[in-house]
Amino acid sequence: MATTTSIRTFLGNRLWTAPCSRLVQQHNNILSGQPVGQRLLFSTTSQVTYAKPASKKGGAVPVEPKALLGRPSNNLKIGILGVPNIGKSTFFNALTNSSVPAENFPFCTIDPSEARVVVPDDRITWLTAHYQPQKVTPAFLTVIDIAGLVRGASKGEGLGNAFLSHVRSVDALFHLCRGFEDPGVTHVDGSVDAVRDLETIHDELLLSDMDTLSKVHQEYEKIAQRLGAGKTGNAVEKKKRDDFPTISKLLAWVEEGKDVRTGDWTNEEIEVINQQYLLTAKPMIYLVNISEQDYLDLAKQPHPVIERIQDWIDVHHPGDLLIPFSGSFENQLSLFEDAPEEKEMVLEDASKQAGVKITSALPEIVVRGREALNLQQFFTAGPGEVRSWTTRTKALAPQAAGVIHTDFERGFIMAEVMKMDDLKELGSEAEIKAAGKYYSKGKDYQVEDGDVIFFKFNVTNNKKK
């Protein structure tokens, strides 16, 4: 925590004044149609702590669960974002084993491609071996390949407005950076500079949010001034009046060059934020696409581009995750998806060349993407089917039951829960019950990642007389 504070203080004293004034000026230039400057500097906070409310009687007081930024859905999507010609479509092809175009020119991907990727999970593999079911249904992550953004996208450059709408439609982002040199693959800016590309994307997302919030602020301000504190106005207008202070706070936040996702917002403020679909409110994971040889050499020597990007993240977004991978290597491996023995031979050859065990980076990328979306899995298991179900983290038992069927949530009675570690250790439901580790949970139970659950419910149809 002390490190974060010192970084924040350093940025406040050394870097803030000029960059933030340039950011606001750049936003004003966009609104007026004037040229936009080349580079912005901005900072974020990284950690949020929440105070526990005091009890009037001195006893324990339940703490309201912290609301999550983003859509309240279990069917969330993650987008692949970056400037053109950095390997987004190649990464998408390898990740989904599909075949979208991956040509060497900007805007090759115009309409975003979408695919579902199986989430690697050793737990469902174990459950399958244990129950020998007739059917197995794993969890999936929906991935969107978004076309490349260029500087000036927030004011329509390239295919800017359309691309930003694609970014708005996803719930988290893989921010892909180019860390390889290849004269045969052109760069939209004429040279390879990963940090410049990072700043291009972050600037455009931030400027787009600034534009969105400026328009909302103007609308809400007029309504707030007209209604005042009185009781006039319809329900929609009163809601906008009440939300105006939060919109003002949000606008000031982004004008200081800070992503919305890094703020310490109250649950009431998060409700307002989620209605705006802001681009900088989305979780982000940084992926660095390096050459195959550089990927194999990572254990021997640090990669200069990865170090530069990590330094940039440590200053601007401390705590965010960076994962290096090789698009060309992963694409090669994906050709052997139907031939696991040959795929294993390729990995063995790569490991011998590198002198360390080489594995695909894609399973970790998929799992981390799911975590960025605040998603978790619970399981239903038996000889008929072993299935992984997806919920938001901290979902209550009735909400989790509703993922299976709405009747399960409507007529929820209880959830009978086994912990995965207990099932592995004790070997059967009977042994878990004998050990007193078979739990009956009510509607206030927060489902945990990896729970094996049997729901009890009862729905009575009320017939009209």
Residue ranges for the known binding site for ATP are: 85-90
* C-beta of residue 267 within 8 angstroms of C-beta of residue 251: no
| Vertex 394: Cα angle to 263 and 145 (nearest 5) | 65
- What b/e string do you get for 271-310 counting C-beta neighbours within 10 Å, with b at 16 or more? ebbbebbbbbbbbbbbbbbbbbebbbbbeeeebebbebbb
Q: What is the largest CA-CA distance in the chain?
A: 78
- How many Å apart are CA 436 and CA 52, to the nearest integer? 32
Please give the structure tokens belonging to residue 166: 């694609």
* C-beta of residue 213 within 8 angstroms of C-beta of residue 251: yes
Query: Which parts are annotated binding residues?
Result: 85-90
Q: What are phi and psi of 453, to 5 degrees?
A: -125, 140
